[in-house]
Amino acid sequence: MDASAVERALAGQDAAICVLGSGKKLKSTIRSEGTEQIVRAMEKVGMRRLICLSTLGTGESWGNLDFYWKYVMFGFILRQVFADHERQEALVRNSTLDWTIVRPGALTDGPLTGDYRHSFPSTDRDITLQISRADVADFILKQLADRASLFQAPSLSY
């Protein structure tokens, strides 16, 4: 949350990858507040490329979710955390940056498989709604060299 520290960290870099999270906290604005600091710093230092981690279910990907995720997890238990994801995405979309928002399903500690689905339509209900952190990292790193998802929010799941 230290604007000058964020600016120093970004100066001279080619891209930023934002993977902020609230851990087990059910009430947090770390994603939106931290992302706002990153976006401001990037715009100030003239950096363009941002890849930002969000969650499956935000925006048009809401249609991919089942009853449990829509009404129990995001509708009740993680309601405030989910709202922070939405604020975070709005900040990124409204920036002047070259952004990609990555929307993974529920994160697991599974291995890197390289065998995952991405960029599927919001009507696709044949997904597991889960993906390993390793596979999410794989996809994010590929976005550094691939501009196909520029100004898009691809979803990820098995």
Q: How far apart are the first and last CA of the chain?
A: 34
The class that CATH gives domain 3-157 is: alpha beta
How far is the C-alpha of 36 from the C-alpha of 30, rounded, in Å?
10
How far is the C-alpha of 51 from the C-alpha of 151, rounded, in Å?
10
pLDDT value at residue 24: 86
CA atoms within 13 A on the CB side of 109: 0
Nearest by Cα to 130 from 108, 102, 155, 103? 108
Contact 82, 74 (CB under 8 A): yes
* Percentages (nearest 5) of helix, strand, coil residues in the chain: 40, 20, 40
- The sign of the dihedral angle between the CA atoms of 151, 137, 127, 64 is negative
pLDDT value at residue 92: 98
Residue 74 identity: F
Nearest by Cα to 9 from 40, 53, 54, 52? 40
pLDDT value at residue 69: 96
How far is the C-alpha of 95 from the C-alpha of 131, rounded, in Å?
28
Q: What is the pLDDT along the chain (158 residues), one digit of tens a residue?
A: 899 999 999 999 999 999 999 888 888 999 999 999 999 999 999 999 999 999 999 999 999 999 999 999 999 999 999 999 999 999 999 999 999 999 999 999 999 999 999 999 999 999 999 999 999 999 999 999 999 999 999 999 99
Contact 156, 102 (CB under 8 A): yes
Contact 117, 104 (CB under 8 A): no
What are the residues whose beta carbons fall under 8 Å from the beta carbon of 4, sequence distance 6 or more?
none
